[in-house]
């Protein structure tokens, strides 16, 4: 990608940061370049980070985020360019040492900066001691940070026994214990459930507000970009665009059109011919129309699929993920061939006799006195995409292991693809595909070797193995990579291969346990293209777990789990309608001083208040009355309200609000 591919947005200071135009940046990067042998990881990046802001680095795997962050932290050398941190030119080990006491670094991966056998208390004390913090100061700061992160009740628990969200919060505490001026957080919310993600961001916003900490954060979750004051989109080691999130989103003119049309798969195939950025999201067709206003976009989509009688058409502005993919597409930086979906042959062995593909009846799994799963029931139809959602430790993976015959239930019953899970273990294995959260491929085997291994395990003939290998290579976009080791593939490509291996024997039911965890936005969309095609065109029933609440919208039906039980079982639209009826409409408040506004609204008793970049979100049973109360409370504190607008609820709003209510009820019983 040449220099012309980078778009730089001219912007002012982020509201609420009290920055002056001549304030010295905490970090200044110019023409930064880092290579690993012949591989260029970062190529000519320029950026500045101002005091007191959250600066985001967004991009897929291999974009250069981690290399840049490690260099800023003073733990990685670079080849050329300049890097100034706190006004110090970081160009040697000696200069790097002069800034490290003012920096907190949290590396990528759950708990990788922690010690597994040490307790929460011991981990924090260890980090405090190596930072030479006086014991009285250490204990005072530890008490505050553990209380803020709600880890104070688990001080004696070993790190290895914590959930993913708790590990990340403990990692943040250890990163902050010495009161750094700059915290560097490398994908801190990857693999973390939505409640812990929101909790993590609330803590960071509070620290930003109270201690004027500056944060450099990377993420693969595009929806988190709304929480950044400024951001840079990275791709292939270069800056694709930078500025405030709203300004970046405005770089690509166009509209998102959502409509319903049947048959959905046929309508989608037709739309993809004219609009390459088209996808199916649950019952909806979601289309990005370039360079169009509302009317033009609506007419373009309607005219293309008029034979399918489109209904319930909605037009909206694209989000940052749409913009990111559109920028790559417009510059020819995506391989369109990899979006190709090829159905299996017409001789498919998948049957649909009108029965249920999966049936769980009061499943229970106990480990000693602890019930990991407690009376779980749900049903999945053939050809249905069924989402099983829950926080870390809710019991999702345990349910899947019971249904697939890997773990015997303590009580309850279940049927999968017509077979009783208790008595027909081998029959179930022949009819299902399973892509586990932790292990699916042999990293030191090539693409073809992995496929042949799975074909052999399932007893396929040589002829059938060759046919299925060709189909998987085509479906997963792996042409030309047949001899590559699976461990060398990008995460998104590796996950497509893993799905292919799970499908090698043409199962009736496919279990996907967090298939997109750690996968970049492009890879996630390609995976969901495959999932949609399998369900709609092949009749495969798919049970999927995910931490990406935006992906929950792809599901036809959802069961939400908490503490081993299902507490909600409905379609995404029904779940959102229920929350709207119970708790009200989502309001988005924009002010000239969001950090101060957040403090006022939290202390004023407004329910469910959270910071999203420059904006504040809350739920309001009476939106008009809530708007008046918000305006009055903020005006009294000399905070100017720019706008108060209703926004559509998301599945993350549903999940977080329901789980927090359950946590509150459980706490009240103690």
> Does residue 588 share a domain with residue 499?
no
> Does residue 288 share a domain with residue 163?
no
Average of per-residue pLDDT across 198-226: 83
Average of per-residue pLDDT across 411-415: 94
For residue 421, what pLDDT is reported? 83
> Does residue 585 share a domain with residue 537?
no
For residue 46, what pLDDT is reported? 95
Q: Among 570, 599, 615, which residue terminates a domain?
A: 570
CA angle (486 as vertex; 483, 487 as ends), nearest 5: 130
The CATH number of residue 267's host domain is: 3.30.70
Q: Among 523, 551, 570, which residue terminates a domain?
A: 570
> Does residue 586 share a domain with residue 529?
no
For residue 296, what pLDDT is reported? 96
User: Is the residue at 178 inside a domain?
Assistant: yes
The continuous run of DSSP H or E covering 589 comes out as strand 585-591
> Does residue 212 share a domain with residue 260?
no
Q: Left if phi > 0, otherwise alpha if psi is -120 to 50, otherwise beta: which for 282?
A: left
Banded pLDDT at 354 (limits 50, 70, 90): low
Residues spanned by the domain of 653: 574-669
Residue 158 has pLDDT above 70, yes or no: yes
Compute the distance between CA of residue 152 and CA of residue 488 in angstroms, rounded to an integer: 41
Q: Are 115 and 123 in contact (CB under 8 A)?
A: yes
- List for the chain the helix, strand, coil content (%; round to 5): 40, 25, 35
Between strands 565-570 and 557-562, the pairing is: antiparallel
> Does residue 560 share a domain with residue 607?
no
Residue 1 has pLDDT above 60, yes or no: no
For residue 559, what pLDDT is reported? 95
Higher pLDDT, 34 or 439: 34
> Does residue 181 share a domain with residue 241?
yes
Q: For residue 311, what are its two tokens?
A: 């209904």
Instruction: Find out whether the peptide bond into 263 is cis, omega within 30 degrees of 0.
Output: yes
User: Is the dihedral angle over the CA atoms 19, 20, 21, 25 positive or is it negative?
Assistant: negative
The CATH number of residue 202's host domain is: 3.40.50.300
Average of per-residue pLDDT across 98-105: 94
Banded pLDDT at 5 (limits 50, 70, 90): very low
> Does residue 547 share a domain with residue 582?
no
Closest among 277, 266, 323, 333 to 300, alpha carbons compared: 277
User: Is the residue at 34 inside a domain?
Assistant: yes
For residue 438, what pLDDT is reported? 64
> Does residue 584 share a domain with residue 467?
no
> Does residue 538 share a domain with residue 396?
yes
User: Is the residue at 350 inside a domain?
Assistant: no
Banded pLDDT at 425 (limits 50, 70, 90): low
- Alpha helix (H) residue ranges in 34-75: 65-72
Banded pLDDT at 667 (limits 50, 70, 90): confident
Compute the distance between CA of residue 558 and CA of residue 282 in angstroms, rounded to an integer: 11
Residue pLDDT, tens place only, 489-548: 877 788 889 989 999 999 999 999 888 876 777 778 888 888 998 998 889 999 998 877
Banded pLDDT at 377 (limits 50, 70, 90): very high
For residue 577, what pLDDT is reported? 93
Compute the distance between CA of residue 644 and CA of residue 59 in angstroms, rounded to an integer: 31
Mean pLDDT of the chain: 86
Closest among 191, 242, 200, 244 to 221, alpha carbons compared: 191
Residue 334 has pLDDT above 80, yes or no: no
User: Is the residue at 333 inside a domain?
Assistant: no
For residue 517, what pLDDT is reported? 72
For residue 629, what pLDDT is reported? 94
User: Is the residue at 156 inside a domain?
Assistant: yes
Banded pLDDT at 449 (limits 50, 70, 90): very high
Based on the number of CB atoms within 10 Å of its own CB, is 454 exposed (0-12), middle (13-18) or buried (19 or more)? buried
Average of per-residue pLDDT across 639-668: 86
Compute the distance between CA of residue 132 and CA of residue 139 in angstroms, rounded to an integer: 13
User: Is the residue at 86 inside a domain?
Assistant: yes
Q: Are 637 and 596 in contact (CB under 8 A)?
A: yes
> Does residue 595 share a domain with residue 550?
no
User: Is the residue at 332 inside a domain?
Assistant: no
User: Is the dihedral angle over the CA atoms 491, 492, 497, 503 positive or is it negative?
Assistant: positive
User: Is the residue at 14 inside a domain?
Assistant: yes
Banded pLDDT at 668 (limits 50, 70, 90): confident
Q: For residue 67, what are its two tokens?
A: 């290399």
Banded pLDDT at 353 (limits 50, 70, 90): low
For residue 572, CA distances in Å to 443, 587, 655 come to 36, 20, 11
Per the structure, how many domains does the chain have? Answer: 4
The CATH number of residue 623's host domain is: 3.30.70.100
Based on the number of CB atoms within 10 Å of its own CB, is 20 exposed (0-12), middle (13-18) or buried (19 or more)? exposed
Residue 2 has pLDDT above 60, yes or no: no
> Does residue 599 share a domain with residue 561?
no
């Amino acid at each position: 990608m040449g220099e012309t591919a980078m778009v730089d947005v001219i912007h002012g200071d982020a509201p609420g940061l009290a920055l002056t135009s001549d304030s010295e940046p905490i970090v200044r990067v110019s023409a930064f370049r880092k290579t690993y042998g012949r591989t260029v990881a970062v190529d000519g990046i320029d950026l500045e980070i101002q005091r007191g802001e959250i600066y985001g680095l967004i991009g897929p795997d291999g974009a250069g985020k981690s290399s840049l962050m490690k260099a800023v932290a003073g733990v990685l050398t670079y080849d050329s360019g300049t890097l100034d941190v706190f006004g110090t030119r970081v160009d040697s080990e000696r200069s790097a040492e002069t800034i490290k006491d003012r920096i907190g670094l949290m590396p990528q991966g759950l708990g990788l900066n922690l010690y597994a056998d040490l307790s929460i208390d011991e981990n924090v004390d260890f980090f405090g001691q190596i930072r030479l913090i006086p014991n009285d100061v250490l204990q005072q700061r530890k008490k505050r940070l553990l209380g803020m992160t709600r880890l104070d009740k688990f001080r004696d628990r070993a790190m290895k026994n914590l959930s993913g969200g708790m590990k990340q919060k403990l990692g943040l505490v250890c990163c902050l214990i010495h009161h750094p001026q700059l915290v560097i957080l490398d994908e801190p919310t990857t693999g973390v459930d939505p409640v812990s993600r929101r909790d993590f961001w609330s803590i960071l916003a509070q620290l930003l507000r109270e201690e004027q900490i500056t944060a450099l954060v990377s993420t693969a979750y595009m929806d988190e970009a709304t929480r950044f004051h400024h951001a840079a989109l990275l791709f292939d080691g270069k800056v694709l665009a930078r500025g405030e999130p709203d300004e970046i989103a405005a770089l690509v003119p166009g509209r998102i059109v959502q409509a319903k049309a049947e048959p959905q798969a046929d309508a989608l195939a037709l739309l993809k011919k004219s609009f390459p950025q088209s996808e199916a999201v649950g019952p909806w067709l979601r289309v990005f129309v370039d360079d169009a206003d509302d009317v033009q976009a609506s007419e373009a989509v309607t005219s293309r699929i008029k034979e399918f009688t489109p209904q319930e058409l909605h037009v909206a502005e694209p989000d940052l993920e749409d913009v990111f993919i559109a920028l790559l597409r417009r510059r020819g930086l995506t391989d369109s061939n990899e979006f190709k979906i090829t159905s299996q042959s017409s001789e498919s062995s998948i049957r649909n006799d009108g029965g249920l593909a999966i049936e769980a009846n009061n499943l229970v799994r106990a480990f000693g006195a602890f019930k990991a799963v407690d009376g779980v029931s749900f049903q999945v139809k053939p050809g249905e995409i069924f989402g099983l959602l829950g926080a870390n430790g809710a019991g999702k993976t345990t349910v899947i292991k019971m249904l697939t015959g890997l773990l015997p239930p303590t009580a309850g019953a279940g049927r999968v693809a017509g077979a009783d899970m208790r008595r027909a273990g081998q029959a179930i294995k022949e009819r299902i595909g399973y892509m586990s959260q932790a292990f699916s491929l042999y990293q030191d085997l090539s693409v073809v070797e992995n496929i042949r291994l799975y074909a052999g395990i399932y007893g396929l003939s040589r002829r059938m193995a060759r046919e299925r290998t060709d189909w998987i290579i085509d479906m997963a976009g792996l042409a030309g990579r047949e001899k590559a080791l699976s461990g060398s593939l990008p995460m998104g490509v590796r996950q497509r291969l893993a799905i292919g291996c799970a499908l090698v024997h043409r199962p009736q039911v496919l279990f996907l346990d967090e298939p997109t965890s750690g996968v970049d936005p492009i890879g996630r969309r390609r995976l969901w293209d495959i999932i949609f095609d399998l369900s709609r065109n092949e009749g495969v029933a798919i049970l999927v777990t995910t931490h990406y609440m935006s992906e929950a919208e792809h599901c036809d039906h959802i069961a939400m789990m908490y503490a081993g039980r299902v507490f909600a079982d409905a379609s995404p639209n029904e779940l959102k309608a229920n929350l709207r009826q119970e708790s009200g409409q989502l309001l988005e408040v924009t002010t000239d001083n969001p950090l101060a506004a957040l403090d006022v609204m939290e202390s004023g008793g407004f329910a469910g208040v959270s910071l999203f970049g420059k904006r504040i979100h809350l739920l309001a049973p009476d939106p008009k009355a809530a708007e008046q109360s918000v305006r009055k409370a903020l005006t009294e504190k000399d905070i100017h309200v720019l706008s108060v607008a209703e926004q559509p609820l998301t599945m993350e709003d549903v999940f977080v609000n329901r789980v927090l209510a359950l946590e509150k009820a459980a706490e009240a019983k103690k």
